[in-house]
Amino acid sequence: MNEQIYMDNCVTTPLAPEVLEAMQPYFSKEFWYPASFVSTGEATSSAVHEFKEIIAKAINAHEEELTFTSGGTLANNIALKGLALAHSKKGRHIIVSLVDYPDLLTHAAYFEKMGFDLTYLESDELGYVSPDKLRSALRPDTILFMSTMVNHVVGTIQPIAEYAKVLAEADHKIFFHVDGAQAFGKMPLDMQALGMDTFSISAHKIHGPQGVGALWVKNGTRLSPYVHGVKRFDSLQPGGLSLAGIAGFAKAVELVYADLDGNIRQLRELSDYLLQELEKNIEYIELNGPRGEGRVCHNINVSIDYIEGESMAMMLDRKGITVATGSACASQGLKPSYVLMAMGKNHVQSHGSMKFTFSRYNTKEQIDYAVAELKVITERLRQLSPLYNAIKQQQEK
């Protein structure tokens, strides 16, 4: 295959051609910032209003509950610092889990430095954090619980609605922020039903442009302002934003939500097919995270025993295939994937972990090619591996 095969779509996705087209006018012809009483600025105001409606409708939110941001991480920052600072007089206890997205865990470390008290919930071996663990961690001074709806490494779907129920049963208000970057566009989301207070999403994970995100804030929720400046689009993220980016975001949402079920089904089929082919063709391989409905539709993460992930990923890269690994050798800090370690995997399982994440542009033919290449690579690296040789020798005895 001559084309580049990209299977790392949980990091970012290629821009859809329809999205690029929808963005074009806003780079040069209709570039104005929102304003009142002038036809140019008003045209933008009403366009932004429409874009927001499209996104709000997709997740059953009210339009005024959405703030455009310059990405998912900024949305997390505005929500988390905004909630913690606005409500710190009522308590200093915050809860997170050990398998959450780095945006949340770096906030946890920051909050600790600021004098907050943090509880880190443990996950089970599938990456699932049980609502019971949350219940027993609650304290009279708990003000905030943060969670990642879909785990970024193993695709585990956390029970968000059940968490919300646990929090609602407490005798005081506990705010609930959720990072939705890996969930948005991959499962039906209903802001009115899930029981969260704030929720972050991002455009470039669903074939929208890079550098645009949104924060949903439930009506009536008080946040301390985190970004200060002049209001152009929204008051929680003052200053300028990419108008073309916002237009592209709305178009990307429109495309996914025109047939959300169909999109999910297609991604699920690709994931199921990959797993089936991997298990058929490669021995000593195991799935990390849940199998089936408990897992998001676009993620497969496996550990291939006795060989190391950076070697596999680099050899695949030489064949034009982009995937990710949780190997310590592939990380600048030389640390194995903290998610896999928190799930109780050992170093070898983490070093040998490979993550494939799909988008609607992936095909079964690409999977066939990738599995065939990986099979050859696995055999080559295992011939080299002292661990594999030792196992084979034991088996012969």
Partner 1 sequence: MQYSEKVLQHFMNPQNVGKMEHPDSTATEGSPACGDQVTIYLKVDEASKVIEDVKFLSYGCASNIATASIVTEMAKGKTLDEAKKITWRDAMEALDGLPPVKAHCSVLAADTLQTAISNYEIAHGLKEVPNFSKETIIEELKKIIYPQVGEDIITLKMVKYVGFDNGEVLIDLNIMSFDQYRENVAEEIREHLSKYPEVKDIQINFPS
Interface with partner 1 (CB under 8 A): 306-308, 310-311, 314-315, 318, 327-330, 332-334, 336, 346-348, 351, 383-389
Count Cα neighbours of 318 within 13 Å in the Cβ-side half-sphere.
Answer: 8
Helices (H), the chain: 17-23, 25-28, 39-58, 72-86, 102-113, 131-137, 160-169, 191-194, 243-257, 260-281, 309-318, 338-342, 347-351, 364-384, 386-396
The answer to whether 132 and 162 have CB atoms below 8 angstroms apart is: no
The answer to whether 292 and 273 have CB atoms below 8 angstroms apart is: no
Backbone angles phi, psi at 283, to 5 degrees: -85, 165
Burial track 113-146 (b if 16+ CB lie within 10 A, e otherwise): eeebeebebebeebbbbbbebbeebbeeebbbbb
Residues marked active site are found at: 329
Which residue's entry shows tokens 């709305």? 250
Look up residue 325 and give its DSSP letter: E
Tokens of residue 183, six digits: 């969930």
Shortest Å, Cβ 13 to partner 1: 24
Between 235 and 346, name the residue whose CB sits nearer to partner 1: 346
The answer to whether 197 and 221 have CB atoms below 8 angstroms apart is: yes
Shortest Å, Cβ 5 to partner 1: 19
Instruction: Report which of 317, 299, 295 is spatially closest to residue 370, judged by C-alpha positions.
Output: 317
